[in-house]
Amino acid sequence: MDSLASAKNARRKGKAIGAIIKAQKIELRGLVQAVGFRPYIYKLAHQWGLRGWVNNHTEGVTIVVEGSEEAIKHFLEVLPQDKPPLSRIDSIVLTEQPLRGYQDFIIRESQEGQRLLTSVPPDVALCPDCRSDLHERKSRYYQYPFTNCTNCGPRFTIVQSLPYDRASTSMASFELCPTCHSEYKDPWNRRFHAQPIACPTCGPEVWLSDHQGKPIEGDWRQKFQEKMRAGQIVAVKSLGGFHLVCHGRHTKALEKLRQRKRRPHKPLALMARDKAVIEEICLVSLAEEKMLTGPQAPIVILEQRPSAVTKLATLPLLTGVMKTIGFMMPYTPLHELLFADDLDLLVMTSGNQAGFPLARTNEEALTQLASIVDAFLFHNRPILSRADDSVLRYIDGTWHFYRRSRGFVPDSIALPIAVQKDNRGHPVSTASQANSRTILAVGGEMKNTFALLGGDSAVLSQHIGGVHTLEGQENFLESLQHLQKLLDLEPELIVCDRHPTYHTAQLARRWSKPLLEVQHHHAHFIATLADHSVTEKSMGVILDGTGYGDDGTIWGLEIITGDYRSFQRHYTLRPLPLPGGDNAVKKPYLTAAVFLGEAFGEQGWEEAKRFFPEDAKAITRAKQMVEQKINSPLSSSAGRFFDAVSALLGICKESTYDGQAAIELGEEVTLRLGLAGREVKRAEIEEALSLGHYPFSIRKKLPRTIQKTSQDSLTKAEQNKENCSLLRYLDYTEILAGLLADIENCTDKGIIALRFHNSLALFINEAVKELAIREKLSTAALGGGVFQNPYLFTMVRHLLQAQGLRVLWPQRIPANDGGLAFGQGAIAKWQGEEGSIISKGRC
């Protein structure tokens, strides 16, 4: 018997009994606001003949029902089964209530109250019903760019405070017309209590302006499409900020966009009119299709078809050397209306200048983007929170966040609460017991997000990006203040990175709050463990571009053991000096020169000049900086190793965007394994390994190279003999020797890149195997931005799993610094009242 038939039967029985025999109060926590939950409860209660009420409040949703015991029983059974698709119930608390004799079931006005860290709803992509209304000529929502319902539309980007009601959103100033008001009040209408409901009569409006902000007469949609066909660039006010938009098939438009935005190489994301357009250019698995068309509608990085360039001649301008492309679907009605029969692909890149956050207001866009665009597409619905597009990739059967933002934020993430044990196996604490204080974790310097923690959950912010500029810091503070207000949460403890010059750390140190500083790679390690609710001592494999080490050098290839309270380094890369410090990241050819010089001495430096003859003077200056110890901090970064190899192979000599050299190197091997949209088989791993690797050495002591400066610098890094006695080093000399021999023999650079990746994966496998036996551990957590390299991730995962190890990787958060704050906050939860990390990692 279906639920409706059961409901009718129960109502008949209830009426036959002739009396209300029970009252029940139901408290719901989770994602239960702004997802059509109250209308759902209203309908469900009426179906079962129940009376009472439902309302939103700052802790979730409360329901009180009166009716027959059987009807209430069935109501409670059906409630979690048929709930709205966008909702999530974390807990249900039932309490017996005295009978009040309610005469009907109603939706009560929302209430204020003590606020918990409940889930604030993310923005939701256009649903099929609203898309149908948009194109139906008889609908009053025909071609209206702000149509929405309880199943879709803006949430986080327009909400000012909780509870989630219209008066608490940026729609408060748009008074409902009688027809919208009627739909809003109709329990059987899908726009029942849809807070952003609007129509052409009473809702926001769109208009087109020239690059100076002067309105352009005529139909905005027609004029916009004319500009696309003419190769112009338009700044479009979207859901969480502005996009820079141009025709994806127009060569001159793409050249102009790259020149004006000073973005010569970084791939550009595309929005397609429909799924068929994407499938013509890219391979799309069922999982990828579901993500593209789902309620989050993020950018999904897809593998290009071999014939892609014949279908899209501008592909080299869009993606450069990359064989993947980031696609998304129209996720708002406004986006849907931008397309036409002859306009099926639009570039959608972030509407900002370098170093600036996404333009949010019309005024910001005019100030920041006028020199880039030919026109503006404005509207008058205020955006209260910036939200960049989320970016995901499907690798070896699992989803990986490259950026977690629109569509996912600010959904909360549960923290582990299992009991942790000390070295003697005695229970120490749980996360909830160890530290009940509310916590702010400020994250890192690049790809920044922050996290607010309360109770047993964390809310990770939207993508903030770089905070190294004044504008980036203002965006960080503005976003923090807004989310604090939204959650009504005042941090009692601040957590930051130990880097002395990170601007987030400097901000944290200025606030008059207790402060906990957390080592960068420890935070990455714990972010992965906490993502999987693992609390026992484990192994960590953390590979990234940079992170301040406890010895004052730059770390970045760290194989460690530990838990939430402490960690120990066991393996790392043989360190080398980086002339120019962080600036070396932009010049991989200089990094390559230093690797060669450190590995082979004077001969290596000369070899570098042979590889890069036009940069011989710069290489000589770098050599002098290293020898004179001028601004040449030591680094054991995996990211810089990738940069060096990328430069030596002629893939990327100078980087114009973050991670370019390593990303393009990874691209040389990723598609050889066919990672798009499916799981990789063991036989394919064996086949990839059969193509070879370079020999490598693991050393117990740092070798004394002929470079005296290295000897002196490395002595400083070895001062703590006791803690460093177990530290082992991957020596890159043999890997580079093999790589240079392959280059000399004119081996295909794709094969060389693959062998380099295999060498690193096999080193990790050997090191973790030894460590697992020695430390009697069976769980390995992967983290750090280098593990966004699909080939390396897949290879390491399969090799470690073949040992019988449990392998974890970030799944609800990014592996890069976008997940750092989550790890910082989780560590703080486990620190209790100690106030500092017990770190054995000072090597």
pLDDT > 70? residue 242: yes
Q: Which amino acid is at 748?
A: D
Report residue 636's pLDDT band, with 50, 70 and 90 as the boundaries. Answer: very high
Which top CATH class is 405-532+819-830?
Answer: alpha beta
The least confident of 69-73, 314-318, 466-470, 837-841 is: 837-841
Residue 704's pLDDT is what? Answer: 56
Could you tell me which residues come within 8 angstroms of residue 769 by beta carbon, excluding any fewer than 6 positions away?
803
Report residue 464's pLDDT band, with 50, 70 and 90 as the boundaries. Answer: very high
Domain 405-532+819-830 and domain 571-810, same fold? Reply is: yes
Residue 120's pLDDT is what? Answer: 73
- Rounded to an integer, the average pLDDT of 679-693 is 88
pLDDT > 80? residue 40: yes
The catalytically annotated residue of 11, 29, 51, 56 is: 56
Report residue 117's pLDDT band, with 50, 70 and 90 as the boundaries. Answer: low
- DSSP secondary structure of 666-689: HHHHHGGGT-BTSPPPHHHHHHHH
Question: Helices 69-81 & 3-17, crossing angle to 10 degrees?
Answer: 160
Would you list the domain boundaries of the chain? 3-107, 206-379, 405-532+819-830, 571-810
Rounded Cα–Cα distance for residues 236 and 362 (Å): 10
Report residue 675's pLDDT band, with 50, 70 and 90 as the boundaries. Answer: low
- DSSP secondary structure of 735-757: HHHHHHHHHHTT--HHHHHHHHH
Q: Which amino acid is at 558?
A: E
Residue 706's pLDDT is what? Answer: 33
Please say if 38 is a catalytic residue. Answer: yes
pLDDT in tens, 404-434: 999 999 999 988 864 445 555 544 444 444 4
Please tell me which residue, 705 or 518, carries the higher pLDDT value: 518
Report residue 145's pLDDT band, with 50, 70 and 90 as the boundaries. Answer: very high
Q: What are phi and psi of 703, to 5 degrees?
A: -70, 150
Token readout for 360 is 């949010």
The catalytically annotated residue of 38, 258, 728, 812 is: 38
Other residues' Cβ atoms within 10 Å of the Cβ of residue 265: 16
Other residues' Cβ atoms within 10 Å of the Cβ of residue 305: 17
Q: What angle do CA 415, 416, 418 make, to 5 degrees?
A: 155
839 torsion bin: left (phi>0), alpha (psi -120 to 50), beta (else): beta
pLDDT > 50? residue 836: no
Rounded Cα–Cα distance for residues 820 and 788 (Å): 14
Report residue 710's pLDDT band, with 50, 70 and 90 as the boundaries. Answer: very low
Token readout for 435 is 């530290």
pLDDT > 80? residue 600: yes
- Rounded to an integer, the average pLDDT of 121-137 is 96
The least confident of 288-292, 561-565, 712-716 is: 712-716
Question: Helices 820-830 & 520-531, crossing angle to 10 degrees?
Answer: 80
Rounded Cα–Cα distance for residues 261 and 264 (Å): 8
* Nearest Cα residue to 558 out of 585, 540, 581, 534: 540
Report residue 110's pLDDT band, with 50, 70 and 90 as the boundaries. Answer: confident
Residue 557's pLDDT is what? Answer: 98
Please tell me which residue, 6 or 585, carries the higher pLDDT value: 585
Other residues' Cβ atoms within 10 Å of the Cβ of residue 679: 11
pLDDT > 90? residue 465: yes
Report residue 718's pLDDT band, with 50, 70 and 90 as the boundaries. Answer: very low
pLDDT > 70? residue 268: yes
Residue 182's pLDDT is what? Answer: 97
- Rounded to an integer, the average pLDDT of 166-186 is 96
Average pLDDT taken over every residue of the chain = 90
- CATH number attached to the domain at 571-810: 3.30.420.40
Q: Name the pTM for this structure.
A: 0.91
206-379: which CATH topology? Answer: DHBP synthase (3.90.870)
Q: What are phi and psi of 615, to 5 degrees?
A: -115, 20
pLDDT > 60? residue 11: no
pLDDT > 50? residue 840: no
Strands 51-57 and 105-107: parallel
pLDDT in tens, 492-547: 999 999 999 999 999 999 998 999 999 999 999 999 999 999 999 999 999 999 99
Rounded Cα–Cα distance for residues 223 and 207 (Å): 10
- Beta-bridge partners for 451: 441, 460
Token readout for 28 is 């719901």
> What share of the chain in percent tops pLDDT 70?
89
Residue 832's pLDDT is what? Answer: 57
pLDDT in tens, 297-309: 999 999 999 999 9
- CATH number attached to the domain at 3-107: 3.30.70.100
pLDDT in tens, 332-389: 999 999 999 999 999 999 999 988 999 999 999 999 999 999 999 999 999 999 999 9
Q: Is 64 helix (H, G, I), strand (E, B) or coil?
A: strand
Token readout for 37 is 């939950």
- Rounded to an integer, the average pLDDT of 772-800 is 97
* Nearest Cα residue to 266 out of 326, 313, 303, 319: 319
* Whole-number CA gyration radius for the chain: 29
pLDDT > 80? residue 678: no
Torsion from C-alpha of 121, 122, 123, 125, nearest 10 degrees: -110
Q: Where do runs of H (alpha helix) occur along 82-115?
A: none
Please tell me which residue, 87 or 825, carries the higher pLDDT value: 825
Report residue 111's pLDDT band, with 50, 70 and 90 as the boundaries. Answer: low
Please say if 758 is a catalytic residue. Answer: no
